[in-house]
Amino acid sequence: MNGITRVLHVFGRMQRGGAEMRTLEVMRSLRPLGFICDVVALSGLAGELDTEIEALGGRVHFCRRTFGWRRHLRRILRSGGYTVVHSHVHLYSGILLREAAHCGIPIRIAHFRSTGDGRGNNLVRRCYRWLMTRLIDRHATAILSVSRSALTAAWPRPTDARCQVIYNGLDLKVFSRELDVLALRADIGVPVGAGRVVMHVGNFTQPKNHGFLLRVFAALAKKDQSLYLILVGRGGTIEEQQTRALIEEFSLGGQVKILGVRDDVPDLLRCADVFLFPSVREGLPGALLEACAAGLPCVTSDIPSCREVAERVPGVDCVGLDQPVSVWVERLQRGLASGRASDPQAGSRHLIQGGFDLDTATEALRRAWTVPVVMRSGHP
């Protein structure tokens, strides 16, 4: 292969999201070292990141899960010259890695990026999880996760020799580039000389808990009507409709700005004064890491993955979701009073020390894509 290692990633769709953006950054970093990464999109839908993958020399294969899709997948696996299949689709990776094993792909990776699938725990789901876990156990040569909590939630034996936690790493250079903060604040609807900004980054989906977030901000805004709330993330969902209804109900139309999907999130975070993140479930909260890199005080839910970040990075205040809104308001007021880090490089240093930088993640994944195969005892 002339020194080229071809890696096939498996996602649902290459849209702007934490897992997809972090994977794209790794693709960029490892391309000069001879790694070319393709993607299988199981939704069969084009994504916002497809052109960037192609610019790096990769291909996006659309393999919608309809009748005959496995034959299509096998053709992709056999014709691409792949030595690595890296699946990011939670327990469904079991089926993908079985197909990769049958096609002779030597390195087969299941990567857990969430503490659950949010699909309930009825008999059908329990049977599904048992079967997929068994398939991963039989066919995975490596089992990765983005956090300790994601690994222990998804895998029954976290001490398995194949298991490794690889934290998502940020490209920290983007947090130190030149920026006209006042101009950007004005561009997003925060007038010059206006009050401070509370920010949240997250797609409008159930785990992001936008309803609770709006209730917290409404209570905070009663105490300080000069505050603004900036919401960044993909909408078009019932959660966005519910959020807009709450904005109307709480008469916050002038203080809440919904920006949708943005490609300048690091810059937007540098325009804020505090970060609010009441998620109910996260594998490793990339938006929280970005807020830390921007030097923001962060008020976040007290869930395992957020605690894991708080253990390694200062400035993260974890609050239980069972706590009353008044407690969240108090912690936000404390964060606003403390202010962002005075040293613009402090956030980046803290993330490097915590192991959340791109160089650390890239080197760990380079080894995972090249190390000798480890298999569960009893399987070839």
Same domain membership, residue 348 and residue 362: no
82: domain CATH number? 3.40.50.2000
Residue 17: the pLDDT is 85
Q: Which of 270, 282, 354, 356 is nearest to 318 (CA)?
A: 282
Same domain membership, residue 362 and residue 329: no
The answer on pLDDT for 144 being more than 60 is: yes
**Token pair for 256:** 């809440």
Q: Which of 322, 324, 267, 269 is nearest to 298 (CA)?
A: 269
Q: What's the pLDDT tens digit per position in 203-217? A: 999 999 999 999 999
**Token pair for 323:** 């706590």
Q: What's the pLDDT tens digit per position in 18-45? A: 899 999 999 999 999 999 999 999 999 9
Same domain membership, residue 337 and residue 189: yes
List the domain range (segments joined by +) for residue 210: 172-354
Task: Enter the pTM of the model.
Answer: 0.89
**Token pair for 234:** 């993909």
Same domain membership, residue 141 and residue 281: no
Domain-located, residue 380: no
Same domain membership, residue 269 and residue 152: no
Domain-located, residue 223: yes
CB-based contact 111:87 (threshold 8 Å): yes
Domain-located, residue 246: yes
Beta bridge partners of 257: 230
**Token pair for 328:** 């969240």
- Helix/strand/coil for 340: coil
Domain-located, residue 9: yes
User: Across the beta sheet with 316-319, what order do the strands follow?
Assistant: 256-260, 228-232, 197-201, 274-277, 298-301, 316-319
Reported confidence tier of residue 121, pLDDT bands at 50, 70, 90:
confident
Handedness of CA 117, 119, 122, 124 (dihedral sign): negative
Domain-located, residue 377: no
Higher pLDDT, 40 or 344: 40
The half-sphere exposure of 47 on its side-chain side, counting CA atoms within 13 A, is 26
Same domain membership, residue 337 and residue 241: yes
Dist CA 300 CA 274 (whole Å): 11
Same domain membership, residue 340 and residue 211: yes
335 — phi, psi (to 5°)?
A: -65, -40
Same domain membership, residue 292 and residue 209: yes
Same domain membership, residue 113 and residue 10: yes
Dist CA 307 CA 301 (whole Å): 9
Same domain membership, residue 161 and residue 265: no
Domain-located, residue 379: no
Q: What's the pLDDT tens digit per position in 43-74? A: 999 999 999 999 999 999 999 999 999 999 99
Q: At which residue do the structure tokens 């869930």 appear? A: 303
Domain-located, residue 290: yes
The answer on pLDDT for 373 being more than 70 is: no
Domain-located, residue 307: yes
Q: What's the pLDDT tens digit per position in 74-108? A: 999 999 999 999 999 999 999 999 999 999 999 99
Same domain membership, residue 63 and residue 204: no
How many domains would you assign to the chain? Answer: 2
Same domain membership, residue 186 and residue 154: no
